[in-house]
Structure 1
Amino acid sequence: MDVTQAVNQRISTRAYLDKQITEAEIRDWLTTAQRAPSGGNLQPWRVIVVTGDEKQKVIDLAQQKLAGNPRGEPTDRPIYPKDLWEPHEARRRRVGEMMYETLEIPREDKAGRIQWFARNYRFFDAPVGVFFVIDERMGHGQWAHTGMYMQTLALLAEERGWGTCFQECWGILRPTLKEHFQLGETEMLYCGMALGYPDPDHPVNALRAERADLSEFAELKGFQKA
């Protein structure tokens, strides 16, 4: 597999096979991704990987907390900016509708949509859950570098036949997870990731989110006309 193929086939995998990934495979995957770009070589990321009973503890904790308050806990770092503007809001809504159309869950079936969304907090039944941690004192550059490490992991997962789904939704449980994982005083959880072997027969894994045309986001200047 080349990089272009990995980029093209990567999706947010939301259904997984009951097939385990070994600790040795996880260690190799994380280590290989360490070649991701890192400004000043700070390597500002920290990773917590859970499976088995440790993953179940996180799932149980999420269910307990969200049963009391489905909106989660207060955060000064929301998943999306308040009053998201166009064209970004339209894109966000469109991909959500595409997913529910693929799953044949109509808009009026609010219970069905809520039930599906709750699968986020079970890692979509993936065998492995990954959490990314960053120090709150880091700047925007280090957040970007952490994202580069995360993307590198996603592409390496494709090479290995695995699927991933980045899950910023875990951000609504930051205080609880900070305590659960006994993070340092200035550390915070950024987001999670579901990891495992994709279920090729589940319809949700046929979803490919639309992407903007090049003309919407890129300017190419100074090139000679052909």
Structure 2
Amino acid sequence: MPPRVRPSYPGDTLNDGGDLIMRAMCDVFEAIETRRAVRAFRPDPVPRETVEAILDLAARAPSGSNIQPWKVWVVTGAAKERLSQRILAAHEADDPEQQEEYPYYPDRWEEPYLARRRQLGLALYGLLGIAKGDNAAMKRQFGRNYSFFGAPVGLILTIDRSLNQGSWFDLGTFLQSILLAARGFGLDTCPQQAFAKFNRLIRAELAIPESQVVACGIALGHADPQAPENQLHTPREPRAAFATFVES
């Protein structure tokens, strides 16, 4: 088998020996710092080669015993629009056939998680001018998930139903790797668990086997800097609130 040739990436240059050197648009520290959930994208296309390069990089994510439990379904163009329209119709109709196939949020919210969730909701809806209790406007805004917030590329991540919780940790490392690799190309993302509710519809539309759990979606593209919702910057707890150092 011939050696695998890495595709050229934006910013690549040649060194004195003629070898291709990858130049990311930001380093790993900047990628972590600037990664955020973008909820409005420009329609500018993302080349397939760039999406492939992001997935190639993300595939280096760690997994227990190197089982690599993830699969990705990439939707663009007419296929993405068709999927979005079908999900939006089901969302607007409150289709009872569409049910979550795994629990994501707790059955009962407790502190400090409830306060953090409320803080995010108030901040986001405040930027959008949606008043507390305006359920119709909230539902419309939530429905924008299913158009991938206008991004030109949508990803659906799945995991084999036979696997246990440990493999879901692995899926999380793969998900984060996609988000950070996208920043290296100057792109933005939004991880979207909202798609899991419509797993039956998505599985049928994309011919995903029943053996695969629809875990989440990811919107991928260029952020719209003028969109008010993209002015949201979520706070993080200080290190002292979550880290314990045991030294003796």
Matches within 5 A, 1:98-113: 98-113=123-138
> Could you tell me how far apart the structure 1 residues matched to 2:101 and 2:58 are?
29
- Partner-residue secondary structure (3-state), 2:42: coil
Distance 1:202 1:75, change over 3 A: closer
Residues matched between the structures, number: 223
Moved more, 88-97 or 60-69: 60-69
Corresponding residue of 2:143: 118
Letter in 1 for 2:120: V
CA contact (8 A) 1:15 1:204 kept: yes
Matches within 5 A, 1:63-212: 63-69=88-94, 73-212=98-237
Corresponding residue of 1:31: 56
Corresponding residue of 2:4: none
> Could you tell me how far apart the structure 2 residues matched to 1:127 and 1:96 are?
26
Structure 2 residue 239 is the aligned partner of structure 1 residue 214: yes
Distance 1:140 1:174, change over 3 A: same
C-alpha distance after superposition, 1:117-171 (max 9, x if no partner): 2111111111111000100111111111111011011011111111100000011
Q: TM-score normalised to the size of structure 2?
A: 0.85
> Could you tell me how far apart the structure 2 residues matched to 1:160 and 1:48 are?
20
CA contact (8 A) 1:166 1:192 kept: yes
CA contact (8 A) 1:44 1:134 kept: yes
Corresponding residue of 1:56: 81
The Cα of 1:15 is off from its aligned counterpart by 0.9
- Partner-residue secondary structure (3-state), 1:197: strand
- Partner-residue secondary structure (3-state), 1:131: strand
The Cα of 1:176 is off from its aligned counterpart by 1.7
CA contact (8 A) 1:72 1:172 kept: no
CA contact (8 A) 2:187 2:222 kept: yes
Runs ≥4 in structure 1, deviation > 6 angstroms?
none
> Could you tell me how far apart the structure 1 residues matched to 2:143 and 2:72 are?
23
Moved more, 208-217 or 45-54: 208-217
Corresponding residue of 2:69: 44
> Could you tell me how far apart the structure 1 residues matched to 2:156 and 2:39 are?
17
> Could you tell me how far apart the structure 2 residues matched to 1:75 and 1:109 are?
24
> Could you tell me how far apart the structure 2 residues matched to 1:134 and 1:181 are?
15
The higher relative CO (CA closer than 8 Å, separation ≥ 6) is in 1
CA contact (8 A) 2:38 2:230 kept: yes
- Partner-residue secondary structure (3-state), 1:86: coil
Structure 1 stretches of 5 or more lacking a match? none
Q: Which has the larger helix fraction?
A: 1
- Partner-residue secondary structure (3-state), 1:35: coil
Moved more, 37-46 or 64-73: 64-73
> Could you tell me how far apart the structure 2 residues matched to 1:56 and 1:12 are?
21
CA contact (8 A) 1:95 1:210 kept: no
Letter in 2 for 1:10: R
> Could you tell me how far apart the structure 2 residues matched to 1:63 and 1:46 are?
24
